[in-house]
Chains A and B, each alone.
Chain A
């Protein structure tokens, strides 16, 4: 469902250009669980943002469900983001003046879903992440792990097919991090495509498919390696 072909992206950092992505090819199927690892500045987050339609490639193409997204107008990309993609950030990005429930409702509100419908849906997903009792609390009344679970609830309330997590445990302690990972893995088990950027090796190795990036290029991809080995075996 995700297909990147020869994607390049260059940022201007100060005076010098930084090539965040170089000729990246990537194929991700429905329901996969993959982790993206690599040193900082290797282009992990850029890759995630590219897949999340927050960024446009300078060259190359990105097909999402066989649709060329790089030429889509901004409105349609926004619609794709709203309906197909859920984001989870390292720093949670909850709106502090809104309650947990209202934060979860936000994507549905932007999509024009009626208050009644989205209340039901938001309660449902909050229950799913175990925060039903905290729905009326504001972010400053919640712990880090709880904040990230609210963020996950928000990411999945529109029932997206892709879940993109950028260092989801980066700001959390060990125990909370474990909880978050198991919530995410449960979602993947239910069929959602999960892609997670992390530089925690233990976490990254839990994924069925692991990608390692260096200097904007995919240096290693466990699937292509196993595929290659499989190919060797059959020969």
Chain B
């Protein structure tokens, strides 16, 4: 039997059983589409994170106090160090030639109040460099003045959300606020921007690092952000930083260095794994479609017993009958897959239009994986019905009896 004949023969069956065929096409199509769409979302999330990191545009190195002995895992963000990382350490690092800017950070929480409105908020003590390193801009006013590198001053920059909560739409620049037990003047308001590197800056207040030191009565830095020069050699810079720390900390290298690339890589890993897991979950819908195919094929075999008997009587071998039934399933799955792929792509394009910030895109492997799984499920689940059809006794089948159900 020629392939073109088998395709025509199956096509005639599909046309004859339009409802059955339509339902099966839909089941397969939705299964394939859900695999592609869900993996596209996962891939979109991965790209989103990537995009966020590269929006920073520069090469960042983050210094945490304390030593993490094992590689990988989360850095000791809230870890305690045997020896504090100090402002002086940060100054020393800024003298490395391949370092472009150093932003030491002291972090704490304080109640921020204007008149009778009060908000508990994160206070970041830093230098004007933080605006460069984190690419922050002010929408109103100015950033911290240069003098705050070495002196405490009663000034602050508010995050956009915090400003809104404290001042509403009113003017904030030049106003006095109370942060903890200190009064300070608002000199700037940050541009509204989403979360980045796990910190929602719009809900924070930035004060001079020396002021924060006094507020929280601690010389220990929360972390140091280092922006490297464009042509910096990362490993060499890292070893220079470590050397400086060893020198200043009596031979101890009690810091942890995390580069932006390393963070990106670990995010990348997590999201890629997540996407695979999502794909596996979505593949279950293909399994369901496969079981549906099996059930409907079994029904079809018992309904078409006479036809099977006839085909055998006029020269079809068991192998040919099996091939016909397998071919029918595979053709159905192929058609359903094509429909599913087209549908998924259409949805991806529409989401891309409606929500351009989120870079939804199917990963390269999702279409072949979805279609492959569908074909495999179709094949596996139609093996049993096809075998049953092939094993029918022609004499009994011609009389509409024999084999399995019915009879």
Name A residues whose Cβ lies closer than 8 Å to a Cβ of B. Answer: 49, 52, 54-55, 74-75, 78-79, 81-83, 87, 89, 93, 95, 97-98, 102, 106-107, 109-112, 114-115, 154-155, 158
Q: Is the CB of A158 within 8 A of B307?
A: no
| Contact B314–A87 (Cβ < 8 Å) | yes
Judge if B5 is at the interface, Cβ distance under 8 Å. Answer: yes
Q: Are B15 and A78 in contact (CB under 8 A)?
A: no
> Hey, which chain A residues are within 8 Å of B185, CB to CB?
none
In the complex, which residues of chain A have a beta carbon less than 8 angstroms from the beta carbon of B398? 54, 89, 93
Chain B residues in 8 Å Cβ range of A87: 313-314
CA distance A107 to B395 in the complex (A): 18
Given contacts A78-B318, A79-B317, contact A97 B312 (CB under 8 A): no
Bound CA span A82–B394, Å = 14
Residue of B nearest to A48 (CB): B395
In this complex, the member of B306, B314, B318 whose beta carbon has the largest number of chain A beta carbons within 10 angstroms is B314
Within 8 Å of chain A (Cβ to Cβ): is B169? Answer: no
In the bound assembly, the distance between CA atoms of A4 and B4 in angstroms comes to 40
A54–B313 touching, CB < 8 Å: yes
Task: Tell me the complex Cα distance, A115–B6, Å.
Answer: 12
Instruction: Determine the distance from Cα of A109 to Cα of B314 in the docked complex, in whole angstroms.
Output: 10
Closest to A164 in B: B313
Q: Provide the residues of chain B in CB contact with A75, threshold 8 Å.
A: 317-319
Chain A residue with Cβ nearest B310: A93
Give the distance to chain A from B400, nearest Cβ to Cβ, in Å: 9
B117 sits at the interface (CB 8 A): no
Contact of B5 (CB < 8 Å), options: A89, A97, A98, A115? A115
CA distance A95 to B4 in the complex (A): 19
Size bin of chain B's contact surface? 20 to 34
Q: Shortest beta-carbon distance, A196 to chain B, in Å? A: 16
Selected from B315, B394, B395, the residue in CB contact (under 8 A) with A111 is: B315
Residues on B close to A: CB < 8 A? 1-2, 4-5, 9, 12-13, 15-16, 306-307, 309-320, 394-395, 398
- Chain B residue numbers with a CB within 8 Å of A83 are 315
Indicate if the CB atoms of A78 and B2 lie closer than 8 Å: no
- By secondary structure, the B interface counts as helix
Q: Top 4 A-B pairs ranked by shortest CB distance?
A: A82-B315, A78-B317, A97-B16, A107-B314
A74 CA to B398 CA, complexed, in Å? 17
Instruction: Check A95 against B395 for contact (C-beta < 8 Å).
Output: no
Chain A residues within 8 Å of B16, by CB:
97
Q: Give the shortest distance, in Å, between A152 (CB) and chain B (any CB).
A: 13
Q: How far is the CA of A95 from the CA of B12 in the complex (A)?
A: 11
User: Which of A54, A98, A102, A111 is B312 in contact with, Cβ under 8 Å?
Assistant: A54
In the complex, which residues of chain A have a beta carbon less than 8 angstroms from the beta carbon of B316?
A: 78, 82, 110
Complexed CA–CA distance, A1 and B311 (Å): 25
Cα separation A158 to B315 with both chains bound (whole Å): 10
Query: Which residues from chain B contact A55 at a C-beta distance below 8 Å?
Result: 395
Residues A97 and B314 in contact, CB atoms below 8 Å apart: no
A81: chain B residues within 8 A (beta carbon): 312-315
Question: How far is B235's CA from A140's CA once the two chains are assembled, in angstroms?
Answer: 83
Closest CB of chain A to B248's CB: distance in Å?
86
Q: Cβ of B306: which chain A residues have Cβ within 8 Å of it?
A: 93
Q: Do A97 and B317 have beta carbons less than 8 Å apart?
A: no
Residues of B close to A52: CB separation below 8 A: 313
User: Once the chains bind, are B395 and A49 in contact (CB under 8 Å)?
Assistant: yes
Provide the bound-state CA to CA distance between A78 and B319, in Å: 10
B12 partner residues in chain A, CB cutoff 8 A:
97-98, 102
For B319, the chain A residues whose CB sits under 8 A away are 75
Give the shortest distance, in Å, between B329 (CB) and chain A (any CB).
18
Q: How far is the CA of A37 from the CA of B317 in the complex (A)?
A: 30
B315 to chain A, nearest CB (A): 2
